[in-house]
Amino acid sequence: MIPRSLLLLRGVRSQPSTRLSPTFPSFTPMSKRHYGQSRPVPATFYRGGTSKALLFNDADLPPSREERDALFLSAMGSPDPNGRQLDGMGGGYSSVSKVAVVGKSEQGGADVDYTFCQVRVDEPVVDYAGNCGNMLAAVGPFALETGLVPPHPTERGNLVRIFNTNTSKLIHALFPADGTRPLLSGGYTIDGVSGSHARISLEFLNPHGSRTGRFLPTGHVVDTLDLGEWGVVQASLVDCGNPCAFVLASDVGMSGTETPAEIKGDVLAKLNALRNAASVAMGLTGTMAEADKKRSVPKVVVLSPPSEHAVLSGAVLGREDTDVVCRCISAGDPHRALPITAALCTAAAAQVPGTLVAKVARRGDDGIVIGHASGTIAVDARVEQTPQGWEVPSASVFRTARKLFEGNVFVDEVEELDP
């Protein structure tokens, strides 16, 4: 069994030099482990967009993937059969069970590397298959304040150039700063987050083909997917930011305006079967069984036309407030807002004739406003048709971030059993 964490918050460090330098014993197979005292690992806890994650400096982590996975699972409190992650920093569902690893980059045109790690709540799994756009909002401020990058002031804010290792794509983050100090207070608001904060601009460069190498992985604007016991369904399979499978709400027995809590039972099972079938069709996995173990991508986006309906806060969206309404399944769970990468993919797909998104969405000259379970998000994407196919030179969105604590997270020490 993978360990779960005992987490204690110890003070607040004021300078990077006060970070504890952890020592990591050699990796011990699960069958020869027992768990003793906890040990501290430097970490920072951030909200980024509508997600939360522990952020680690790559230099503070052990070298092997297996050791890192055990550390992340312990820190987040996974696996938890109760689904609450009370023994860790996780919050019991996918958008708050995340880890980000940030380190200096050797990639051309990048300042830092960012690896996103989706920690499964109820299973001992850390999934590296996709990018998290929401947590990107925290990566730039974290890199600046921890000394991973020097200040790079521009007319639009401090620039940090981020290479996402999950998708091998570049993202530019721009945010207010005073020297090496990010200025994250401000008057900008995003739906799904209470209060106002500084606006952070995220500009995705050539986000198409993030995992498959093509904007339309199958070459079709609409595919028919066989879901086994759930029948067949039409879907648009698009890869921009992250791979996404778009489906009409009416084709999966939904109105399209459900709250996350209302997406359950047979409907959720059908949507997860759709994700598995889309994964195989897009070439992300070889079988439905393999796809079921890699839940972070593709995202499943359920589409419906603009309508008047209530969101989680109780506010009511009018028909004129949105250009399209979406509900999203991310990592197997109904998302309480919309993953940023899914929003980018929606904005791009809306511009490609024949896709289900283009058939449902209104499209203006200044981007698209997408309705989600917590409100709306405005996204813009530049889409071009080339001899090589559809391409997206750039896409942009605004987010906010807030640092919640910095210090040390305590994870289970692993000791080897005597033979």
| pLDDT average per 10 residues of sequence, the chain (419 residues) | 34 35 43 63 98 98 96 97 97 96 97 98 95 98 98 98 98 98 98 97 98 97 97 98 98 98 97 98 97 94 98 96 97 96 97 97 84 97 96 98 98 63
CA distance 268 to 257: 14
CA distance 308 to 133: 28
Question: Are 269 and 294 contacting, i.e. CB atoms less than 8 angstroms apart?
Answer: no
Nearest partner of 166 among 217, 216, 99, judged by Cα: 99
Helix (DSSP H) and strand (DSSP E) numbers for the chain:
6, 23
pLDDT of residue 413: 77
Residue 35 burial (CB count, 10 A)? 15
* CA 332 to chain centroid: 13
pLDDT of residue 22: 47
CA distance 223 to 202: 31
Intervals of CATH 3.10.310.10 along the chain:
38-207+403-412, 223-386
pLDDT of residue 58: 98
- Here the contacts of 33-36 (C-beta below 8 Å, separation 24 or greater) are 33/3, 33/414, 33/415, 33/416, 33/417, 34/414, 34/415, 34/417, 35/3, 35/412, 35/413, 35/414, 35/415, 36/412, 36/413, 36/414, 36/415
The Cα diameter of the chain in Å comes to: 69
Residue 188 burial (CB count, 10 A)? 12
CA distance 12 to 1: 32
Question: Are 385 and 190 contacting, i.e. CB atoms less than 8 angstroms apart?
Answer: no
Nearest partner of 54 among 132, 1, 124, judged by Cα: 132
pLDDT of residue 363: 77
Distances (CA, A) of 70 to 23, 74, 75, 97, 155: 15, 6, 9, 14, 42
- CATH superfamily for 223-386 is Diaminopimelate Epimerase; Chain A, domain 1 (3.10.310.10)
Burial 201-211 (b: 16+ CB within 10 A, else e): bbbbeebbbbb
Using N-to-C axis directions, what is the helix angle for 340-349 and 133-145, rounded to 10°?
Answer: 130
**Three-class SS of residue 251?**
helix
Structure tokens, 386: 């080339």
CA distance 49 to 292: 27
pLDDT of residue 364: 65
- CATH superfamily for 38-207+403-412 is Diaminopimelate Epimerase; Chain A, domain 1 (3.10.310.10)
* Residues constituting the chain: 419
DSSP class per residue in 45-82? EEEETTEEEEEEEGGGS-SSHHHHHHHHHHHHT---TT
User: pTM for this one?
Assistant: 0.88
Question: Are 234 and 281 contacting, i.e. CB atoms less than 8 angstroms apart?
Answer: no
